[in-house]
Copies of this chain bind each other. A is one copy, B any other.
Amino acid sequence: MSWKIKVNQNIVEMEYAVRGPIPQRAMVLRKQGMKTIPCNIGNPQALGQKPITFYRQVLGLLENTELISRERNLNNLSTIDGIELISEDVLEYCENFLSKMETGMGAYTDSKGPLFIRENIAKYIDKRDGVNSEIGVPANPDNIFMTDGASEGAKNILELLITNENDGIMIPIPQYPLYSATIKRCGGVQVNYYPNEDDDWSLNREILDDSYKNAINNGVDLKAIVVINPANPTGAILDEQSIREVVSFANDNNLAIIADEVYQENLYGGEFISFAEAIRGTDIPLFSLHSTSKGFYGECGHRGGYLEVRNPPKVYGFDIPFVDVLFKQASVNLCSNTVGQAMVYMMVTPPLNGTTSSLLFNSEKENILNELHEKALIIKDAFTQMDGVECFGRIGAMYLFPRLNKIPAETTDFDYCMNLLKTTGLTTVNGSGFGQKSGTHHLRIAFLPPKDMLQEVLPQWIKFHNEYVR
Contact = CB atoms under 8 A, between A and B. Distances in A.
A461 to B, nearest CB: 23
A63 B74 contact: no
Interface stretch (A101-109, A235-243, A264-272): A101-109
Contact of A59 (B64, B299, B315): B64
B111 A19 contact: yes
A318 B159 contact: no
A1 to B, nearest CB: 6
A126 interface: no
Interface in A1-44: 1-9, 11-12, 14, 16, 18-19, 41, 43-44
A80 interface: yes
Tell which of A7, A160, A317 has the most Cβ of chain B within 10 Å: A7
A175 to B, nearest CB: 13
B315 A12 contact: yes
Contacts of A73: 82-83
Contact of A149 (B41, B74, B283, B334): B334
Contacts of A333: 148-149, 151-152, 155
Nearest to A324: B12
A409 interface: no
Interface string A316-339: 111010100100110111111111
A181 interface: yes
A306 to B, nearest CB: 15
B107 A4 contact: no
Contacts of A65: 56
Given A56-B64, A303-B148, A338-B301, A5 B316 contact: yes
Tell which of A1, A108, A254, A316 has the most Cβ of chain B within 10 Å: A108
Given A5-B314, A41-B108, A60 B67 contact: yes
Contact of A106 (B19, B152, B298): B298
A311 interface: yes
A117 to B, nearest CB: 13
Interface residues of A, number: 98
B77 A45 contact: no
Contact of A108 (B3, B300, B316, B328): B300
A302 B338 contact: yes
A175 B278 CA distance: 46
B331 A301 contact: no
Nearest to A102: B46
A8 to B, nearest CB: 5
A57 interface: yes
Given A108-B46, A302-B339, A303-B336, A83 B79 contact: no
Interface in A331-386: 331-340
Given A56-B63, A104-B301, A329 B5 contact: no
Contacts of A12: 315, 318, 320, 325, 328
> Which 8 A-B residue pairings sit nearest by Cβ, starting from the closest?
A60-B64, A301-B338, A3-B313, A45-B106, A59-B63, A46-B107, A19-B331, A303-B337
Given A3-B283, A46-B107, A303-B338, 18 more contacts: A7-B160, A9-B163, A12-B318, A19-B111, A45-B104, A56-B63, A56-B66, A60-B67, A63-B63, A73-B83, A74-B74, A74-B80, A103-B301, A106-B301, A108-B300, A155-B332, A301-B335, A302-B339
